[in-house]
Structure 1
């Protein structure tokens, strides 16, 4: 009996040692970062940038793979159902983790349960933009104009149920205005119509509109930030205008639930170290993207807080996607 106990103990110790050694060796093969959107946007550019540095650090290939579709749900589901070993990661957006669970009626997975946070990579402040042809010069004038024309003015978004759509619905609820939603395939596709006043307003991140603002194609009326943006020092915050609203879009890494804590910890620390290098931070801050690199627990808190906010907005606006 004692011999059997010793044997079982030795086997258990050997198995535990093997697991620890396997985790200690991470990564030992190609790591894939799945971007659930198309190429060219910040959510695609940033992981390619730090992915190159991770590849140098880890000595294994780090590949960014685009799997767009269903407002990021196709790529998210793919990662959620991948082996929980750290070799398949998701570059998620706030809409992926904090809004989608309440938008879709027939999801084949639960983003909040089947994916776990690794680190918040970046935060992108949002701004309210209007057509240069619109006869308003500040947020109060815009709200007054919209209230005088209920259901006549329209706003653009990058798609039904995306954070840009939800942010605008949140703003409408805060101000009491009512506009018509005009969704586009992406925010840049909306710029031409916004410039020509076919649609009158759009909420979008600063990083996607630096060129549009420099070319005076769009007129910024407010930022949804705690304080004025250094890139737009003359543009007041919405709170300054009397509408206390702070919101943006964040991007973060997630992994399949069950991924070993040691692996998640290593990925988090290595990504955080890279994106917080002074040159890396400045490169993106100049474009309106703020690098973070926090812990999984800190990211989870943000995911949960945002989920409560967008759940209410979705329910109040009666938004749903089949």
Structure 2
């Protein structure tokens, strides 16, 4: 009987230590706020991660779409939420590093009202032209644009999107001027470049892959520090002669500032595990993105560094999204 009581006492003590070391969650759902609508890349990636995360935590992780204002509406929901880990947000450059530097008024401060939880994935932009231009590489594009400034326009998925900012960065570094034509989505931007109504398009890899393979679009450079495995013959911007023009789309999870560190750590560890689930990895590859490998602190540094970089860029080119 004494031995039995000893085992019970040890079990209770061990349970108390484990509960303290790793916070547990009751079966209350976790809201994962997707800042863009159903079917968007953010919505797709959020749902891919939510499924294994829910299984790991043993509780529902509900993806809640809150689109609007370029991601600001949903991000503001996260910034103003309770600091208990039950409301987290899917973050991207738009509402975190672009809009705060390109809009006069913001409902939140992305650098003080939010904290990083985990980097989910990254994916490069690609600079492409309509083959009718007979431009074969980035140096030829720059030379042609300088010689024909009134003949060039570039398409993007919209104002403030990753493709738009990549185009602004390209112009800034190459000292060229190209008319920006924003669309309501990537498919429209690609379609008009295919038809010759715009000469240049900047996009993520998956939507343009079939057109590159068919020869309907010519990829000049990948805006990343390494080549895309889906486009192994396309050089990086640095290899093509324009270092510093890297523009990588990133996707991550943020939480309200003030969320306890132990909760952030637990969520970060579980999200990292979900991201490296083989099924998720396979889907990521098909989407042309790579799983995030940065720690929570490194992800936070990415956010602050890019925020400062865009602040300087937008000021120099007088970019306003209002």
Q: TM-score, normalised by structure 2?
A: 0.89
- For 2:90 and 2:214, how far apart are their aligned partners in 1? 31
1:237 equivalent in structure 2: 236
1:275-314 → structure 2 map (5 Å cutoff) = 275-314=275-314
Count of aligned positions: 304
2:66 aligned with 1:81:
no
- Residues of 2 paired with 1:267 and 1:180: CA distance? 43
Taking the aligned partners of 2:32 and 2:211, their CA distance within structure 1 comes to 30
CA distance in 2, matches of 1:75, 1:212: 33
Alpha-carbon separation, structure 2, partners of 1:145 and 1:167: 19
List runs of 5+ in structure 2 lacking aligned partners.
1-15
Conserved 8 A contact 2:90-2:254: yes
3-state SS in 1 of match to 2:133: coil
Deviation at 1:39, TM superposition (A): 1.9
Offset at 1:228?
2.4
- Preserved contact between residue 27 and residue 58 of structure 1 (Cα < 8 Å): no
For the 8 Å contact 2:89–2:255, the answer to whether it is kept is: yes
Give the C-alpha shift of residue 280 in structure 1.
2.8
Q: Report deviation, 1:286.
A: 4.2
How far apart are the structure 2 equivalents of 1:98 and 1:58? 30
Residue 167 of structure 1 corresponds to 166
Task: Tell me how far 1:218 sits from its aligned partner.
Answer: 2.0
Q: CA deviation at 1:208?
A: 3.3
Partner residue in 1 for 2:9: none
2:197 is aligned with 1:198: yes
C-alpha displacement of 1:27:
4.8
Q: What is the Cα deviation at residue 175 of structure 1?
A: 0.9
**Preserved CA contact (<8 Å) 1:27 1:87:** no
5+ residue gaps, structure 1, are 1-16
Corresponding position: 1:272 with 2:272: yes
Choose 238-247 or 61-70, whichever is displaced more.
238-247
Q: State the distance in 2 between where 1:293 and 1:44 align.
A: 21
Counterpart contact for 2:120–2:253, Cα < 8 Å: yes
